[in-house]
């Protein structure tokens, strides 16, 4: 893995960026949400050097989001273990074995086949795996995720999986999406929460990234996934 040591100024930038993100979230919560609502900030680690990630953890970040299994495996031993790691990228069934029990949540479940493999390995290891259903809310061909009309069908099919727990929904709205898209995701999340399905304990709506996190917070997000806004523009990294 090729990476450059972080300069002290980069740590300062991360600290100031995080301060701004927290302020903007608190303002959005105060303006649009109920008193007591909270939003978790996830640091998206794609191409980011472990020392920068660990610095963010030292500043109070408790969630890390991994896009690629291979990159995660190459970096995980360097991470501050006080932060939880979620898999947020598209996950192939043959890669589940590398992360089961290693990550605390898989946010990108988009098929019964994938959910079944997660369950099989979770049963083997004697654990219950928390997952989110990934929704392709913009019906974009270039993105993974289930259609909004398939959420409840997949959730019902997954009731047969003893060692998988559905904790909510995840989405990547189209770039420049209007508020209606975010509002619709919140409606779908509320529908899942109210479903009373036995293996659904929905308390996570993972929605919002560097360019739209304030809008996501306005419309009910409980977890925003921030990369560029926290660490700066991505740099190429070989893994």
Q: Which residues of the chain have pLDDT under 50?
A: 1-4, 237-239
Q: Give me the domains of the chain, ranges plus CATH numbers.
A: 8-231 (3.20.20.10)
The dihedral sign for the CA sequence 63, 41, 140, 183: positive
CA-CA distance, 170 to 109, in Å (whole number)?
Answer: 9
- Please give the structure tokens belonging to residue 212: 């739209």
150-160 pLDDT per residue, tens: 999 999 999 99
Closest CA to 76 of 61, 91, 86, 88: 86
Task: Give pLDDT, residue 2.
Answer: 44
Task: Give pLDDT, residue 234.
Answer: 76
Contacts of residue 193, Cβ cutoff 8 Å, sequence gap at least 6: 168, 200, 202, 203
CA-CA distance, 106 to 98, in Å (whole number)?
Answer: 12
Q: What is the pTM of this model?
A: 0.94
CA-CA distance, 165 to 120, in Å (whole number)?
Answer: 13
Task: Give pLDDT, residue 170.
Answer: 98
Task: Give pLDDT, residue 208.
Answer: 97
Task: Give pLDDT, residue 223.
Answer: 98
């Amino acid at each position: 893995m090729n990476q450059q040591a972080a300069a002290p100024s980069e740590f300062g930038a991360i600290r100031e960026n995080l301060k701004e993100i927290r302020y903007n979230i608190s303002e959005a919560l105060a303006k649009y949400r109920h008193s007591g609502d909270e939003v978790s900030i996830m640091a998206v680690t794609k191409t980011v050097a472990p020392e920068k990630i660990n610095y963010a953890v030292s500043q109070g970040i408790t969630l890390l989001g991994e896009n690629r299994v291979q990159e995660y495996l190459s970096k995980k031993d360097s991470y501050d273990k006080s932060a939880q790691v979620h898999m947020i990228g598209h996950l192939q069934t043959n890669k589940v074995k590398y992360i089961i029990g290693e990550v605390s949540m898989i946010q990108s479940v988009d098929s019964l086949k994938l959910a079944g493999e997660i369950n099989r390995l979770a049963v083997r290891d004697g654990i219950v795996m928390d997952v989110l259903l990934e929704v392709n809310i913009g019906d974009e061909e270039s993105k993974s995720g289930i259609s909004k009309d398939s959420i409840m069908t997949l959730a019902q099919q997954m009731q047969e999986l003893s060692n998988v727990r559905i904790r909510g929904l995840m989405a990547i709205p189209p770039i420049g999406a209007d508020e209606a898209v975010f509002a619709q995701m919140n409606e779908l999340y509320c529908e899942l929460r109210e479903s009373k399905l036995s293996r659904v304990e929905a308390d996570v709506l993972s929605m919002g990234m560097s360019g739209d996190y304030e809008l996501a917070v306005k419309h009910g997000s409980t977890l925003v996934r921030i990369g560029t806004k926290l660490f700066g523009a991505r740099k190429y990294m070989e893994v």
